[in-house]
Structure 1
């Protein structure tokens, strides 16, 4: 019984140790962002980079495990709060929702092909980061 509990707790610890990476297109000059800026960007409150160019935000579907993990760990809110924010902005006409992609591969492709774009990937990077840049957070 105690062995079963130990194995279960180890599985939980490994899954929570997975971190995600914020990625941007190669034309974005910033190399690091603070968490408040990331929250503002993914909440669609900040729509332009510091140099004035528009930001194109890509996200995974609401129920995708990487999306859940990214929103909770990096933005430090719950996914439903982010969705409510987007819906409110769209409904009131004060903003728009980000572009939703189907999976990690499409996220990589869209961010690499769209100037001024931002998104996220799961940490065990199966994709090479030749066409997108991973940025640091502080």
Structure 2
């Protein structure tokens, strides 16, 4: 019984550690634009379509159901995943916009962002490498 409780506590600690992961918003390493938290929110809600230098923005999401995506939606956009889904359903139905493309993993986001000058995405802070630049943290 004591071994079971110890094992359960270790598992809970690992789960709570992953739930506290820091989410970072990234652009390509050569992108010279800076963004506020409000800018990030407006980009991922389809309300801001250009960087400060006038270049087009191409936002990408992680796949629906991702813990990092849920944390991003809650902390950066101030909405739950179901609220974001409803928001985009309304935007698509009314012809006002379409949601950002979805990619399957942090590595996919890094590859896309680093190879597309206007791309912006978000990943777990632990996945950052030299090919991307962090522009916001949530």
Query: TM-score scaled to structure 2, two decimals?
Result: 0.81
Residue in 1 aligned with 2:52? Answer: 50
Residue in 2 aligned with 1:34? Answer: 36
Matched, 1:95 2:97: yes
Partner-residue secondary structure (3-state), 1:57: strand
Residue in 2 aligned with 1:18? Answer: 21
Contact 2:43 2:49 in 1 (8 A): yes
Q: Give the RMSD, CA atoms, in angstroms.
A: 2.5
> Cα gap change, 1:13/1:100 in structure 2, threshold over 3 Å: closer, same or farther?
closer
Q: CA deviation at 1:9?
A: 6.1
For these two proteins, the number of residue pairs brought into alignment is: 135
Q: What is the alpha-carbon distance in structure 2 between the residues aligned to residue 137 and residue 60 of structure 1?
A: 16
Residue in 2 aligned with 1:81? Answer: 83
Partner-residue secondary structure (3-state), 1:119: strand
Residue in 1 aligned with 2:130? Answer: 130
- Tell me which stretches of 4 or more aligned residues in structure 1 moved more than 6 Å: none
Q: What is the alpha-carbon distance in structure 2 between the residues aligned to residue 16 and residue 137 of structure 1?
A: 15
Alignment of 1:59-74 (within 5 A): 59-74=61-76
